[in-house]
Amino acid sequence: MKSFQLNLLAAAVSAFMLSACGDAETTIVEQDPIEVPEDDHDHDDGYSIESAGRLAILASDSNEALIYDLDDNSLLGNFALTYSSSSLSSSADFRYALISTRAQDQIEFIDGGLWQEDHGDHLHAYQQAPTMSGYTLNGSRPTHLVKHDGKLAVFYDGNAETGEVASVQVVTDTDIANQTQSLPVLNYSVNMHGVAEPSEDYLIASIRRDDSLSTSANKVLPDQVGVYHLHDGEYEHEHIFEQSCPDLHGAAQNEEYQVFGCSDGILVTQQNGSEYNSAKIANISALDGLRVGSIYGHHELESFIGVASVHGGGAAILVHINPHDNEMETIDWQPQTSAQPLAYSFTADGEHFLILDNQGYLTLLSEHTHDDHSHWEFDSRIDISEQDIANMPEGLSFSMTISQNDHIVYIADPIAQHILQINLESGETTGEIELNFAPKAISWLGIAASEDEHDH
Amino acid sequence: MYHKKRIAIAVAALFPFVSAAQNLSGVVLNQQGNPIANARVKVEGTPFSAKTNEQGQFQLSNLPIGENELHIFAKNFAHRHQHVEIPKQGLNQYIIKLNRSPIEVIDVVASPVHLSVMESATPVNVIAGETLRQQQAATLGDSLEKLAGVHTNFHANVASTPIIRGLSGPRVMIAQNGLDVGDVSRVGPDHSVSSEVSTAQQIEVLRGPATLFYGSGAIGGVVNVVDFRVPVENTTQGEWLLEASSVNDKKLAAFNLTTGSDSVAFYADAHWREADDYKVPTAEGKIANSSEESNGFTLGSSYLLDNGYLGIAVEQFNREYGIPGHTHGEVESDAEETAENVYADLEQTRIQLLSELKLANSIFNQLNIRAASTEYEHAEIENSSVGTVFENSTQELRVELHHNPFFDWKGGLSFHYKNSDISAKGSEAFTPPSESQTFAIALMEEKHFGDVLVQLGARADQVELTANQVLLPELAVHAHSDETEEEEHDHDHDNSGYTSVYRVEQKFTPVSLSTGFVWDFTPGYNIGLSVSRSQRAPSASELMSFGPHIGTASYEIGSLFNFHQHGDETHFELNQQPVELETAKNIDFTLRKTQGDLGFVFNAFYNQVDNYYYQTATGLYAEVTHDHAEETDEHNHDHEHASELPVYLFQTDDVVLHGFEAQLAWQITDEFKTSLFSDYVRAKLKDGGDLPRTPPLRLGTQFSYQTSQLNAQLDITRYQEQDKISDYETVTSGYTLVDANIAYDLSLFNLNTALYLKINNLTDSEARVHTSFLKDLAPRPGRNFTAGIRGYF
């Protein structure tokens, strides 16, 4: 068995060798990180997208709208529009830019490319390149666009000269995405310069009575408010509020109330199931003969802010409207000499009310509570333009839009041909988009901060 | 690579062939004194070999004078080693008698040391010829699953990979003619192996560590598919086959042909297969997305030299197969209704260059060169749009030099180079693109010390793994528990877009050593013992993955990363632990009865693997978005679905695998034979706990009846229940499969033609495969009738 011993020796030798070991060496070098890739194939694997949003800009000198990326202020696309003299706003959930051309009876849409969908257990965000939607809304003289809780009510005034009657269409972002052909509609039998507030399956909308009954001085303005309920794609008349509203113009709503501006005060309406209430807040003497013609509301605020001004500009009187206490009081917004407001807006969180004026100032109001009574007071003022306002191109003005997911306002300056990004907390300018044209209007698009419209 | 090859040929040509030597002629007989045809007589340590004719006669010339060692083998007979002293005048009328072996013994081709089921220290299975044709399936794992110690990870008929002694994936190498097959089947159970069995000649399985022969990726074993695509002979011969199966309406046609004249040989093969979704004996009815279509062809040619050959083969392999279970983490009870049309489109082009040259110089006697270049691509397609594309570009060169016996030690040196570029692009690209480069040198030696054959080997590799874009995104994860259920849906899935990027370079130097012996302690029996220590470099997917892997329905994170919990928040970050080599220390014991009417092989093994890379459930779930491009209307609308996937993290731990394989065959009469086999593996963590997807205990039996015209088998295989499971697995019930086949030789037109009928799962039993990732979704097919005709010429 000599061979066997040899073999044992060999095994022993190799057993010794078994203790020899291999080696591993690792080198890791960190590279530049990747932040928010554009391509949604690359974006990481959650449902949400962190993005400042996008900005739609209407050019003044051409039939063109542009979409900018607010994360890096880069141009994402420009889109030729069918008509000039349009106005710009956004869809109910801020996915689409709305290009509304009243004189041409048309609304066009640009998909901003940022949106989220409700997937049952979660909200699912999407990020794509902006595109022109082939979808259009057509109706006689689309005028007032009212957004509430994911719904946009388009009020078509109709046209007495052509015999076209007024109507309302309610459109959601999903309808625009799906190009829904038959939208819920309210058809009137006359024309009017009216307004409608969407609320779930209801429309709280203005009613124009027969001229012989109408209390309006200007008969094209309605003087009543009714409740319409959606059945089979059509809003059917359900109720007329007792209180009338002569020369109705301007409306707003919050969770509880709808308010309408009337020549004799503010009509407050309320609907609880099948119970309907209405009240009138009388005009206060400080209005000095003027009436509230536009009203601003925020769903988280109990009260509203109304604006009374001479038609076509002039000094404006702001009033605080409290429907709960049936009160109205003036707000001293401490205007600069000859400052005429151009635009008003609540911030996304409702903490501030902004007034942009023609002198290049942005005034911030904020709410204060004294003895259980809230008041809106002057808070601060930001100088938004270093330009000489005398150089403002004919027919243009400063304009603004509010970010729905940050404390930011974007201001378009047609003189300087740029867009400023202003942080409302610090009052500082935190960014600028330079343009080679004068911007006519701007509108923020994107995914609104989640806490608001989706939790009820 | 090509350049090196030319040098090798030039070197070979420098040494003139030895002519001053003698002849040996004789006859090979069985124990009854009848001649054995087609027996091979090989002179060990030399390139000389001869085949016996119908009368059992053979003739060898140019043998060196003095002692020669002969290795004689024939089908159904035990291999025999015999020393012969050749005198100056040569030797005639030399008689060799072989013993019957009821266990088929086929040598592993092209190895510097002996490897066969009966003769090596390490356990080996080889199947070829009729047996291979009977067992061949559409996928490699399913084709080999009747071998002791080899299970399949059955992936709904469309993809399967062999599991050797409980190990699979990056631990089992799939080779073709000794070179990496070059696909991406090692990283995903739903990725098909790009090798076709119906045109292969022989499949060799090395059970247990085989890093010595094949390098780092073979720590658990090797499956080598051998074909003669680069022809070594110019005699016209071939094989053709047509068959159809009932369970999935499969149709298969394949042929291969070798021919040539003078010094040029040609080879061609082609196959075509089409199968629908297969039927199952359970409520599912049919398994959605289990259809398959594949085709391929090869053209090869060789230049035959006096001292060997040099040849090239170009092959194209195309396969389109469904990806069942593409359900994004949720287990769908009714697969058929909810399944989308998801399939993979695979394409591979492979060029092989092989050469074996006999050398006649004082040191080396044989030079083997193998080179291959493979371009592989597969795209996963969902509703007609491409989801993820996997690519692998591999170049490989192996040079083996066998030396002349040196103090009776026979063996050789092998040099190995391999470069692989692997990338995955798309929504399910869970592993970053990486390049790996291997250089290796190995030595294998064996020597007969009387009744003892000693086999030794050593190999050192240098593996460089480079990835330029290893991504660490900020991943939103959450835990599932009843108390937090409410909260969890409110919390903001803040997957902000910040992704850290790293360039990672890994350098590994795995070293493998092995020693073993086979001792013929009494005539007709031997025992073998093999001790080895093998090392493996972890793969790119084990280290650098970070993403959703739909094939395994999990979110995979490589061991380069680790996570940290701050209160409710979980952060993934770079792992501070060093990257380690996986090291296996393996002992194999074999007892064999090699000849006579009863033969058996019994193997027992104990394998301790340190730093075993495996996936552990973190208890976290990642939200995953997944694109499904759907054409809903004229506006191309991208629709995304989201789901959550469990997060698995690669970790290392020490594990122990032990088990046995037993094979026994009894030739009852000349016609009747019965065989039994069994295998078992226990795979557990050293600190407690079981590894997932470990094959259950298995017992199989085969009755076979064979005459010159008729060949029939009945197979009964029992899979026991598997209840040794890891935390996130469930127990799998046992089942019994009954298969039968019968073949009748027609001998039409003087050609060897056979009609055959196969029945699989005769009892139409529900069989769920514990080792399958689709255990709950896709049981094995129900009763299946296959009829076919095949011929040899």
Where does the pLDDT of residue A252 fall: very low under 50, low under 70, confident under 90, or very high at 90 and above?
A: very high
Distance from the B82 Cα atom to the nearest Cα atom in chain A, whole angstroms: 17
List the single best residue of B455, B475, B517, B645 to mutate versus A (max A Cβ within 10 A). Answer: B517
In this structure, the number of other CB atoms found within 10 A of the CB of residue B610 comes to 16
Helix, coil or strand: residue B640 = strand
List the single best residue of B623, B634, B639, B645 to mutate versus A (max A Cβ within 10 A). Answer: B623
pLDDT at B704: 92
Residues of B in contact with A2 (CB under 8 A): 449-450
Q: Which of B317, B320, B329, B429 is nearest to B374 (CA)?
A: B317
A26 lies within 8 A of chain B by CB: yes
Where does the pLDDT of residue A370 fall: very low under 50, low under 70, confident under 90, or very high at 90 and above?
A: confident
> By CA distance, what is B514's nearest residue in A?
A14
* HSE-CB for A339 with a 13 A CA cutoff: 19
> By CA distance, what is B574's nearest residue in A?
A28
Where does the pLDDT of residue B131 fall: very low under 50, low under 70, confident under 90, or very high at 90 and above?
A: confident
- Give residues 638 to 657 of B whose Cβ lies within 8 Å of A: 638, 640, 642
**B328/B152: higher pLDDT:** B152
Average pLDDT, chain A: 85
**A175/B631: higher pLDDT:** A175
Residue A88 lies in a domain: yes
Pairing mode, strands A373-383 and A399-402? unpaired
pLDDT at B324: 83
- Convert the pLDDT of each residue in A416-456 to its tens digit: 999 999 998 888 898 899 998 999 999 999 998 865 333 33
B221 Ramachandran zone, left/alpha/beta (phi>0; psi -120 to 50): left
Residues of A in contact with B638 (CB under 8 A): 40, 126, 128
User: Residue B396 is encoded by which pair of tokens?
Assistant: 């490989």
User: Residue B351 is encoded by which pair of tokens?
Assistant: 């060029």
Given a cut of 90, whether residue B708 has pLDDT beyond it is no
Distance from the A250 Cα atom to the nearest Cα atom in chain B, whole angstroms: 37
Given a cut of 70, whether residue B11 has pLDDT beyond it is no
List the single best residue of B453, B501, B572, B576 to mutate versus A (max A Cβ within 10 A). Answer: B501
The whole model's pTM is what?
A: 0.63
* Fold of the CATH domain B124-792: Maltoporin; Chain A (2.40.170)
Where does the pLDDT of residue B518 fall: very low under 50, low under 70, confident under 90, or very high at 90 and above?
A: very high
DSSP secondary structure string for all residues of A338-390: T--EEEEEE-TTSSEEEEEETTSEEEEEEEEEETTEEEEEEEEEEE---S-GG
Pairing mode, strands B554-557 and B561-566? unpaired
Candidate from B499, B517, B547 with C-beta closest to A7: B517
Residue A386 lies in a domain: yes
Candidate from B449, B502, B633 with C-beta closest to A6: B449
The DSSP bridge partners found for residue B402 are B366, B412
pLDDT at B21: 65
Given a cut of 50, whether residue A174 has pLDDT beyond it is yes
Given a cut of 90, whether residue B664 has pLDDT beyond it is yes
Given a cut of 90, whether residue B774 has pLDDT beyond it is no
Q: Which of A144, A200, A201 is nearest to A167 (CA)?
A: A144
pLDDT at B765: 93
Residue A347 lies in a domain: yes
B163 lies within 8 A of chain A by CB: no
pLDDT at A453: 38
Q: Which of B156, B158, B190, B152 is nearest to B172 (CA)?
A: B152
Q: Which long-range contacts (CB under 8 A, 24 or more apart) does A225-231 make?
A: A225/A258, A225/A260, A225/A267, A225/A269, A225/A278, A227/A202, A227/A203, A227/A271, A227/A276, A228/A186, A228/A202, A228/A203, A228/A204, A229/A201, A229/A202, A230/A184, A230/A201, A230/A202, A230/A203
Residue A358 lies in a domain: yes
**B348/A28: higher pLDDT:** B348
Residue A167 lies in a domain: no
- Convert the pLDDT of each residue in B169-200 to its tens digit: 889 999 998 888 888 888 878 888 888 888 88
Distance from the B441 Cα atom to the nearest Cα atom in chain A, whole angstroms: 14
Q: Which of these ranges, B109-113, B144-148, B165-169, has the smallest mean pLDDT?
A: B109-113
pLDDT at B329: 37
* HSE-CB for A346 with a 13 A CA cutoff: 19
**B199/B585: higher pLDDT:** B585
A405 Ramachandran zone, left/alpha/beta (phi>0; psi -120 to 50): alpha
Where does the pLDDT of residue B727 fall: very low under 50, low under 70, confident under 90, or very high at 90 and above?
A: confident
Given a cut of 70, whether residue B302 has pLDDT beyond it is yes
Given a cut of 60, whether residue A414 has pLDDT beyond it is yes
Given a cut of 80, whether residue A7 has pLDDT beyond it is no
B502 lies within 8 A of chain A by CB: yes
Q: What does R_g of chain B's alpha carbons equal in angstroms?
A: 27
| Partner-chain contact A48 B504, CB within 8 Å | no
d(Cα B139, Cα B173) in Å, to the nearest integer? Answer: 15
Per-position b or e across B303-327, b if 16+ CB within 10 A of its CB: ebbebbbbbbbebebbbbbbbbbbb
Residue A412 lies in a domain: yes
Average pLDDT, chain B: 84
Residue A309 lies in a domain: no
User: Residue B791 is encoded by which pair of tokens?
Assistant: 């011929």
Q: What is the mean pLDDT of residues B402-416?
A: 89
Given a cut of 90, whether residue A259 has pLDDT beyond it is yes
pLDDT at B328: 41
In this structure, the number of other CB atoms found within 10 A of the CB of residue B65 comes to 14
pLDDT at B2: 47
C-alpha dihedral over A33, A37, A39, A45, to 10 degrees?
Answer: 80
> By CA distance, what is A16's nearest residue in B?
B513
Where does the pLDDT of residue B225 fall: very low under 50, low under 70, confident under 90, or very high at 90 and above?
A: very high
Q: C-alpha B785: how far from its chain's center?
A: 26
In this structure, the number of other CB atoms found within 10 A of the CB of residue B91 comes to 17
Q: Which of B45, B46, B36, B87 is nearest to B66 (CA)?
A: B87
CA B572-B576-B582 angle, to 5 degrees, is 105
| Partner-chain contact B642 A119, CB within 8 Å | yes
- Asked if A320 contacts A297 with a C-beta cutoff of 8 angstroms, the reply is no
In angstroms, what CA-CA distances link B555 with B372, B378, B558, B625? 34, 21, 10, 12
**B16/B575: higher pLDDT:** B575
d(Cα B10, Cα B35) in Å, to the nearest integer? Answer: 42
Where does the pLDDT of residue A41 fall: very low under 50, low under 70, confident under 90, or very high at 90 and above?
A: very low
- Residue A155's H or E segment, with its range, is strand A151-156
Where does the pLDDT of residue A152 fall: very low under 50, low under 70, confident under 90, or very high at 90 and above?
A: very high
d(Cα A446, Cα A172) in Å, to the nearest integer? Answer: 15
Candidate from B505, B519, B622 with C-beta closest to A27: B505
pLDDT at B438: 93
d(Cα A88, Cα A82) in Å, to the nearest integer? Answer: 13
B540 lies within 8 A of chain A by CB: no
* % residues pLDDT > 70 (chain A): 89
In angstroms, what CA-CA distances link A429 with A51, A295, B23, B115? 19, 28, 100, 79
Q: What is the CATH number of the domain that holds A421?
A: 2.120.10
pLDDT at A128: 85
pLDDT at B529: 94
A80 lies within 8 A of chain B by CB: no
Q: What is the mean pLDDT of residues B109-128?
A: 81
Domain of residue A67, residue span:
48-128+333-456
Edge to edge, what strands does the sheet with B66-73 contain?
B49-51, B40-43, B66-73, B80-86
Given a cut of 60, whether residue B483 has pLDDT beyond it is no
Q: Which of B357, B356, B354, B367 is nearest to B403 (CA)?
A: B367
Where does the pLDDT of residue A335 fall: very low under 50, low under 70, confident under 90, or very high at 90 and above?
A: confident
| Partner-chain contact B426 A35, CB within 8 Å | no
In this structure, the number of other CB atoms found within 10 A of the CB of residue A168 comes to 28
pLDDT at B761: 94
pLDDT at A248: 93
- Asked if B231 contacts B243 with a C-beta cutoff of 8 angstroms, the reply is no
| Partner-chain contact B579 A22, CB within 8 Å | no
- Asked if B252 contacts B272 with a C-beta cutoff of 8 angstroms, the reply is yes
Helix, coil or strand: residue A410 = strand
d(Cα B417, Cα B462) in Å, to the nearest integer? Answer: 10
Q: C-alpha B96: how far from its chain's center?
A: 35
d(Cα A46, Cα A36) in Å, to the nearest integer? Answer: 12
pLDDT at B9: 46
Given a cut of 50, whether residue B491 has pLDDT beyond it is no
Residues 6+ apart with CB under 8 A from A109: A91, A96, A97, A98, A99, A132, A133, A135, A136, A176
Where does the pLDDT of residue B659 fall: very low under 50, low under 70, confident under 90, or very high at 90 and above?
A: very high
Given a cut of 90, whether residue B349 has pLDDT beyond it is yes
**HEC states along B130-153?**
HHHHHHCCCCHHHHHCCCCCEEEC
CATH architecture of B2-97: Sandwich (2.60)
Candidate from B458, B468, B623 with C-beta closest to A45: B623
List, in sequence order, the alpha helices (H) in B714-759: none
Q: What does R_g of chain A's alpha carbons equal in angstroms?
A: 29
Residue A453 lies in a domain: yes
Where does the pLDDT of residue B331 fall: very low under 50, low under 70, confident under 90, or very high at 90 and above?
A: very low
d(Cα A237, Cα A228) in Å, to the nearest integer? Answer: 4
> By CA distance, what is A23's nearest residue in B?
B509
Give backbone dihedrals phi and psi of B638, rounded to 5 degrees, phi first: -85, 125
Where do we find the tokens 């993934």?
B572
- Convert the pLDDT of each residue in B23-55 to its tens digit: 888 999 988 888 888 888 988 767 678 889 888
| Partner-chain contact A35 B452, CB within 8 Å | no
Q: C-alpha B74: how far from its chain's center?
A: 25
Q: What is the mean pLDDT of residues A305-313?
A: 79
Given a cut of 60, whether residue B15 has pLDDT beyond it is no
Candidate from A7, A24, A46 with C-beta closest to B493: A46
Distance from the A209 Cα atom to the nearest Cα atom in chain B, whole angstroms: 44
Terminal alpha carbon distance of chain B: 37
pLDDT at B278: 93
d(Cα B295, Cα B272) in Å, to the nearest integer? Answer: 4
Given a cut of 70, whether residue A369 has pLDDT beyond it is yes
A126 lies within 8 A of chain B by CB: yes
pLDDT at B365: 87
* % residues pLDDT > 70 (chain B): 89
Q: What is the mean pLDDT of residues B757-768?
A: 94
Q: Which of B679, B697, B668, B431 is nearest to B548 (CA)?
A: B431
User: Residue B12 is encoded by which pair of tokens?
Assistant: 């070979």
| Partner-chain contact A14 B451, CB within 8 Å | no
Distance from the B507 Cα atom to the nearest Cα atom in chain A, whole angstroms: 5
Look at chain A and report how many structural domains it folds into.
1
In this structure, the number of other CB atoms found within 10 A of the CB of residue A404 comes to 21
pLDDT at B68: 82
Q: Number of Cβ pairs closer than 8 Å across A and B? A: 179
User: Residue B234 is encoded by which pair of tokens?
Assistant: 């110019």
Edge to edge, what strands does the sheet with B172-176 contain?
B124-128, B202-207, B221-226, B172-176, B179-180
pLDDT at B768: 93
- Give residues 36 to 75 of A whose Cβ lies within 8 Å of B: 36-37, 40-41, 43-50
Q: Map out the domains of chain B as residue ranges.
A: 2-97, 124-792
Where does the pLDDT of residue A18 fall: very low under 50, low under 70, confident under 90, or very high at 90 and above?
A: very low
User: Residue B513 is encoded by which pair of tokens?
Assistant: 């050593």
- Convert the pLDDT of each residue in A57-93 to its tens digit: 999 888 899 999 998 888 988 888 888 878 999 999 9
